[in-house]
Amino acid sequence: MSLTIENFLFVGSILLLISILAGKTSYKFGVPTLVLFLAIGMLSGSEGIGGIHFDNPEYAQFIGIVSLNFILFSGGLDTNWTAVKPILKEGLVLSTVGVLLTAFSLGAFVWAVTDFTIFESLLLGSIVSSTDAAAVFSILRSKSLALKHNLRPTLELESGSNDPMAYVLTIAFLSLVVNQDKEVYDLIPLFLKQMSIGAIAGFLFGKLSKLIINKISLDFEGLYPILVIALMFLTFSATDAIGGNGFLAIYFCAVYLGNQDLIHKKAILKMFDGLAWLMQIVLFLTLGLLVYPSHVYDVFGIGLLISLFLILVARPLSVFISTIPFKMRLKQKLYISWVGLRGAVPIVFATYPLIAGIDKADMIFNIVFFISLSSILFQGTTLSVVAKWLKVSMPENIKPIRPNEALILEIPKNVFEQIEISPNSSIIGKKIVDLAFPKTSVITMIKRDNKYLTPSGATEIKAKDLLNVISSNENEIEKIKTILK
């Protein structure tokens, strides 16, 4: 088959369709959808029945970075600050100290059992040191797994915020492998610069993005998600350009935006949810195409040994040490240790040694691929079973909603009030999104010039508007009257 645009679109659409259909039925057999996406990519590759030759780590890395932008941003938008705040310290320590401990303990083990140099070993440990946001988000949410003791927000915060740490360690140890004259302490300024600039830039871009979204007044609702995509890539690229960590910046930016009142927020959340799934499929298909199954088979023995050490020793060790300052039960620590899923992110990071052309790049890539595949298969399929065994799961009749779904779904209301806007009101000309309305209240209808309007966040308040307001209690109504004066 000659490579034309039509053939490319045909093959791409067929792979997407197969992935979606396979994902729909996979959980009936207890297999995570991400494994199916990888398998379809491998079957379609050079050594599979599809025969599609793809051996370009630069393209794979580009697709991986773009996909991770969407996946992390979508995860950040779905992060409810109210749920995260009580476990913020635990999550951040796991995503920094925990990642560091995993990288060093696994690196030491690799150095002991292979012929890798110490820096090559630490590079491999760094690549697989973070839990994968795509794997954790998709598996926890598709299984609708309700967990006790704030475990779910802890796991989602850790997986969403620990990739930047793993990225910094990967780049740092890769530079030590390439430049033998550097020392370990040379990494400290790089780490501090990347993380501090990334965090500050993420917060500032979040505030700027909110201002732009709510003030730009676009004519079409469908343009708002496109605007947010532009702001997302601007946050990532600008932060990277000034020496910060772009992945950390877009996650912080998204967490901030996800907990603010935005115009057409429901449309933005829905679109990013769909785009995150699309990017997961594209990412796993691409990485499946990039790998040669026969090469992965060649590292089966050492890959299995390293994978078992990571799952049973390195990850639990990092969790138990990281959580020493916090009051956390043994069962909670054990379950957090088990949900140390590795997925697409380590495989994307493993393309950096390939592009750098270091001696053991191919072996590192294949070992990382094996570790990710075995982690999703072994740990991903047993999350529900282990949760029940450790008694950290809720009863089956209790199903969690998406963290920010409370901002979309209507909360039961029982108080109705009609409020007329005075010509002297201070809110005239303001948009509804800027009114700081209580979350338990909603404007259902506006009567203006004897016509009824269905309001949105972009609707501007005018003098003599008659607002139909529904709220949960009388106290909220009184607060609203104060706001509308």
With H, G, I as helix, E, B as strand and everything else as coil, classify residue 259.
coil
Contact 35, 29 (CB under 8 A): no
With H, G, I as helix, E, B as strand and everything else as coil, classify residue 381.
helix
Q: What is the DSSP string of 200-225?
A: HHHHHHHHHHHHHHHHS--S-TTHHH
So where are the chain's domains? Answer: 55-283+309-389, 411-483
What local confidence, expressed as pLDDT, does residue 143 receive? 57
What local confidence, expressed as pLDDT, does residue 410 receive? 41
Cα–Cα distance measured from residue 153 to residue 400, given in angstroms and rounded to the nearest whole number: 11
**Structure-token pair, residue 432:** 């509804």
Quickly count: other Cβ atoms within 10 Å of residue 429's Cβ: 11
291 DSSP 8-state letter: S
With H, G, I as helix, E, B as strand and everything else as coil, classify residue 419.
strand
What local confidence, expressed as pLDDT, does residue 31 receive? 54
The angle at the Cα of 108, spanning 119 to 155, to the nearest 5 degrees, equals 100
Architecture label for domain 411-483: 2-Layer Sandwich (3.30)
Number of residues written out for the chain: 485
Of 356, 485, 363, 323, the residue nearest 420 (C-alpha): 485
Biggest CA-to-CA distance, the chain? 81
What local confidence, expressed as pLDDT, does residue 405 receive? 45
Which amino acid is residue 150, in one-letter code? N
The contacts of residue 95 (CB under 8 Å, 6+ apart) are: 130, 157, 158, 161, 162, 165
Contact 303, 367 (CB under 8 A): yes
What local confidence, expressed as pLDDT, does residue 407 receive? 42
CA atoms within 13 A on the CB side of 244: 24
Q: Is 409 left (phi over 0), alpha (psi -120 to 50) or beta?
A: beta
What is the pLDDT tens value at each position of the chain, 485 positions in all? 455 677 767 777 887 787 777 665 555 544 566 677 777 888 887 777 777 777 788 988 999 899 989 988 988 888 888 878 888 898 889 999 999 999 999 999 999 999 999 999 999 999 999 887 767 766 666 555 667 777 888 888 888 788 888 988 999 899 889 887 767 677 778 888 888 999 999 999 999 999 999 888 887 888 999 999 999 999 999 999 999 999 999 999 999 999 888 888 888 998 998 888 888 888 888 888 888 888 888 899 999 999 999 999 999 999 999 999 988 889 999 999 998 888 888 888 999 999 998 888 999 999 999 998 888 888 877 888 888 898 887 655 445 545 444 444 444 456 778 888 888 888 888 888 777 777 777 788 888 888 888 887 778 888 888 888 888 777 778 888 888 77
What local confidence, expressed as pLDDT, does residue 142 receive? 59
What local confidence, expressed as pLDDT, does residue 396 receive? 56
Cα–Cα distance measured from residue 146 to residue 143, given in angstroms and rounded to the nearest whole number: 9
What local confidence, expressed as pLDDT, does residue 406 receive? 44
Strand arrangement of the beta sheet that strand 466-471 belongs to: 415-420, 466-471, 442-448, 451-453
Contact 95, 158 (CB under 8 A): yes
What local confidence, expressed as pLDDT, does residue 225 receive? 92
**CATH code of the region 55-283+309-389:** 1.20.1530.20
Cα–Cα distance measured from residue 115 to residue 266, given in angstroms and rounded to the nearest whole number: 53
Contact 225, 269 (CB under 8 A): no
